[in-house]
Amino acid sequence: MKSPILLIIQREFITRVRKKTFLLMTLLAPLLLAAVMIVPGLLASMPEDDKSIIVLDEPSILVPEEGTSQFSLEYLNPNEFDLETGKTFLRESDKDALLYIPSGNGWDPDFIKNNILLFGKEDIGIDLQRFVERQLEEKINQQKLIRQGVDPEVVAQTKTKVTIKSFTMGEEGNEETSATPLKMGLGYIAGILIYFFIFFYAVQVMRGVIEEKTSRIVEVIISSVRPRQLMMGKILGIGLVGVVQFLIWVILSGTIYVVVSTFIYPEIFAQQVPAGPGSPDLSTVDQTNLFSMLNSINFPVVLSGFVFYFFGGYFLYSALFAALGSAIDQEADSQQFMLPVTAPMIIAITTAMNVIQDPNGPLAFWMSMIPLTSPISMMIRLPFGVPIWQIALSALILVSTFFCVVALAGKIYRVGILMYGKKVTWKELYKWLKY
């Protein structure tokens, strides 16, 4: 005879893993994830369309610039063409765009810079416009310098680029190469993973509870097991599904990435894959420095922190979602309660960048103490190194909150699952705590 909670975990796990949607999600998600990693690299390496531009350069600013292989420049004779005939020429030619630079009265750079026109047969691409602007800015700058009596060559020589090597002073006096971009990436990715895991699986706990309620099986079950056992069995069973799915994803995504990057498109991955918008720029990581940077991150702490906050966050939120599910009759009614429950998580993820920028500041500190945000916020901070007492305090708060929430959620759950056809309010939920 098995203990009832094991039977519940087993059922929750098996019925979910056997579903076709599980198989589909488990196989498709790594493909999607791999696509997200690989496609930007592919796109960046694709040759872009060449554009040829005809230039009507009245003040002779650009002449004789020939442009690049991508954007080639050809000039119309200003003595033979004006703006209108230039446009007609463009229309009848196979060229892509017409750049018109007016001379104005007496070669005034400030007049010129404001009156340059660019006509395209199709929409002017942002790259093309930038290219033209950069070319013109450079030429007009030069002309201005010459007018002020400064030799542009001198200016070019005085240009300085500063490169700083940063170090972190270790507590034992050793100096470590600072690995800020790497830490940012690590913290951010780990935080986001926790966020998605909590959201995805805790909501499944809620769905499971609602399913048992609407199918009316719940009273049969709780005449055999304690409501709290049913709740915990469900949370653990679904958590187990999540862990298995997560591990398959990690392994599959990794395999796909390795296969694609070593065998199929090795030349693309020899360069750095450009970072997506919003994610920290890792391209500055110097390969030779990588090893010492990795050394500066306390991986045992980061890894065990990840596992702890991963599960801590999931358990906390899934208990809340279980209580929520028990209080309502159908998923559509969940909206009014979902937002207040998920708001802390959303705040944690939207303040992620602020936490990264100042990982030991007051915002980061408090966010990593509040139990509803700490699984995400503390995870983001961990790679930067967090004083051990803060980690301990945050973990202690999370664990004790979890036990309080399970006790309270268990009470609401116990009453809620047997309550049908009642529109539940916050006041009602509070009353249930005292039943």
- Our finding on whether 25 is near other proteins (CB under 8 A) is no
- Our finding on whether 431 is near other proteins (CB under 8 A) is yes
Of the candidates 163, 223, 288, 330, which one interacts with other proteins according to CB under 8 A?
223
> Taking the complex as a whole, how short is the minimal distance between the CB of residue 376 and other proteins, in angstroms?
33
Q: What angle do CA 7, 328, 312 make, to 5 degrees?
A: 55
CA within 13 Å, CB half, 316: 27
The stretch near other proteins (CB under 8 A) out of 221-229, 248-256, 343-351, 352-360 is: 221-229
Cα(319)–Cα(332) distance, rounded to whole angstroms?
19
> Taking the complex as a whole, how short is the minimal distance between the CB of residue 279 and other proteins, in angstroms?
39
- Our finding on whether 15 is near other proteins (CB under 8 A) is yes
Q: Is 187 exposed, middle or buried (0-12, 13-18, 19+ CB in 10 A)?
A: buried
> Taking the complex as a whole, how short is the minimal distance between the CB of residue 431 and other proteins, in angstroms?
6
For other proteins, give the closer residue by CB, 150 or 418: 418
Closest CA to 322 of 2, 7, 4, 12: 12
Cα(435)–Cα(426) distance, rounded to whole angstroms?
15
Q: What is the DSSP letter of 148?
A: T
- Our finding on whether 189 is near other proteins (CB under 8 A) is no
Cα(319)–Cα(86) distance, rounded to whole angstroms?
71
Cα(203)–Cα(343) distance, rounded to whole angstroms?
14
Of the candidates 222, 232, 364, 382, which one interacts with other proteins according to CB under 8 A?
222
Cα(198)–Cα(310) distance, rounded to whole angstroms?
8
Number of residues that bind other proteins (CB under 8 A): 26
- Our finding on whether 224 is near other proteins (CB under 8 A) is yes
Cα(414)–Cα(410) distance, rounded to whole angstroms?
6
Omega before residue 64 within 30° of 0, cis: yes
**Gap between the terminal Cα atoms of the chain:** 33
The stretch near other proteins (CB under 8 A) out of 81-89, 214-222, 242-250, 316-324 is: 214-222
For other proteins, give the closer residue by CB, 90 or 322: 322
For other proteins, give the closer residue by CB, 15 or 262: 15
Cα(170)–Cα(178) distance, rounded to whole angstroms?
11
- Our finding on whether 430 is near other proteins (CB under 8 A) is no
Of the candidates 80, 110, 219, 286, which one interacts with other proteins according to CB under 8 A?
219
> Taking the complex as a whole, how short is the minimal distance between the CB of residue 427 and other proteins, in angstroms?
11
State which of positions 408-427 bind other proteins (CB under 8 A).
Answer: 414, 418, 420
* Chain residues in the site for other proteins (CB under 8 A): 1-2, 4, 7-8, 11, 15, 211-212, 215-217, 219-225, 227, 414, 418, 420, 431, 434-435
